[in-house]
Structure formats: C-alpha cells, structure tokens
C-alpha cells in the first residue's frame, strides 16, 4: 500500500500473546486505588523477505532488509502499567480536600521490526503526576493545584525515519548539505498549574 510516499509491507505471519489486568478498589471510605497492567509479546512467526526498506550510507541508496521469525514487532511496548490513588479529607467548613497521585509506565518500543534496517528502541519511561483539589460541593466550585511529570522525565513516544537519515552530504561544489529527516516525538516536560472550575445552573 502506498500512502503519501511511504510503502507499507506485510510479513508472512505474526502473533501477539499477552494478558491484561486491572482493578478499582475503595480501600477505605476516603481512600481509593485503581490501576492496570498489560503485557504483550508481539513477533513475526515466519521470515519476511525484503520487509524493511532502509538507507545504505554513504551513497544514500535504498536496500531491503529481511525480517526473521522471532523478530519483535514495532510500535508497541511489551508492558504498560498505571496506578492512581486518591484520598478525600472533608473539612469542618463544608469544604473537601482531595489528594491525588498517579503514574504511568511504558516499556521500550521498537521503531522497526526487530530494530533492523536502522531501527532503534525508544527507551522505557515512567511519568508521575500529583494534585491537590479544594472544592465546595454545595457551591459547585473547585480549585486544583497540579504537577504533571513531577520528575521532569524525558520520554520519547515515537520517531520518524531512522538516525541514518540525518547525514552530512556534499553538494556539487563540495559544500556540506545537512539532511535532518530523523526526529523523535517527546512528552511535555514538568508542568505546574492551577485550575478553577465552577458549575452554573440553568
């Protein structure tokens, strides 16, 4: 299939095996927990000739790389996990104070089947978030102070092309030509915020 200049090829066969578990628990009247974990083993079950189109430096020619049975498939992590905890503290003034903490974790992700043809593994990461919410249920308003990505984790979530595509070539006069076709998408850095919400009746 051709789409926007890119060609997608299918292998002879692939298989994904795994499991997923989740829970949602009211530990006490004020304290709750919920979380999930999934594991997936996705790989080729047969050899796939000429599966991957790759660059062949220094001439920037095109070569075709075979996928082999047992190669891990690209685009998804082997594991993903999340946990969210919340504690509610009623105040004597009729206000509620809620403390929340959560994290998500993801295993590494291959950008190409078996990391062949210049493919790489995007590193595993964990993202932690926390918030404190003061609310007045009777007045339908709330103020929330939050921190996303507490530890300022650098997390790559996807990539375009391969590092081979970033080359320094020469033009007809021998001058440098910089090709910058490879880049990674990243999650936002640590962020602090204050959010106010108010519900108005009709």
The pLDDT assigned to 192 comes to 95
Q: What is the mean pLDDT of residues 4-16?
A: 65
Burial class (CB in 10 A: 0-12, 13-18, 19+), 53: middle
- On the question of pLDDT at 40 being above 80, the answer is yes
User: What rounded mean pLDDT belongs to the chain?
Assistant: 85
Q: CA–CA separation, 109 vs 180, rounded Å?
A: 22
Contact 74, 44 (CB under 8 A): no
* Backbone dihedral angles phi then psi of residue 165, each to the nearest 5 degrees: -75, -15
Q: Which two tokens stand for residue 157?
A: 């979530």
Q: What is the mean pLDDT of residues 110-133?
A: 91
- On the question of pLDDT at 140 being above 60, the answer is yes
pTM over 0.85: no
Confidence of residue 64 (pLDDT cuts 50, 70, 90): confident
- On the question of pLDDT at 191 being above 80, the answer is yes
Residue 62 to residues 15, 32, 107, 117, 180, Cα–Cα distance (Å): 28, 55, 31, 10, 17
> Which one is predicted more confidently, 69 or 182?
69
Confidence of residue 167 (pLDDT cuts 50, 70, 90): low
């Amino acid at each position: 299939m051709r789409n926007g200049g890119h060609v997608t090829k299918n292998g002879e066969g692939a298989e994904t095996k795994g499991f997923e578990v989740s829970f949602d628990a009211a530990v006490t009247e004020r304290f709750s927990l919920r979380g999930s974990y999934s594991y997936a083993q996705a790989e080729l079950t047969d050899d796939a000739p000429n599966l991957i189109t790759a660059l062949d430096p220094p001439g920037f020619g095109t070569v075709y790389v075979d996928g082999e049975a047992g190669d891990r498939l690209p685009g998804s992590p082997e594991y993903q996990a999340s946990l969210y905890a919340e504690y509610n503290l009623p105040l004597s003034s009729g206000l509620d104070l809620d403390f929340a903490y959560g994290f998500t974790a993801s295993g590494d992700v291959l950008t190409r089947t078996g990391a062949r043809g210049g493919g790489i593994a995007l590193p595993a990461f964990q993202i932690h978030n926390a918030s404190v919410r003061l609310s007045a249920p009777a007045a339908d308003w709330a103020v929330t102070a939050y921190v996303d990505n507490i530890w300022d984790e650098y997390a790559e979530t996807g990539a375009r092309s391969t590092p081979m595509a970033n080359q320094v070539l020469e033009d007809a006069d021998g001058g440098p030509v910089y090709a910058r076709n490879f880049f990674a998408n990243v999650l936002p850095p640590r962020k602090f915020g204050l959010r106010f919400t108010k519900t108005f009746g009709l």
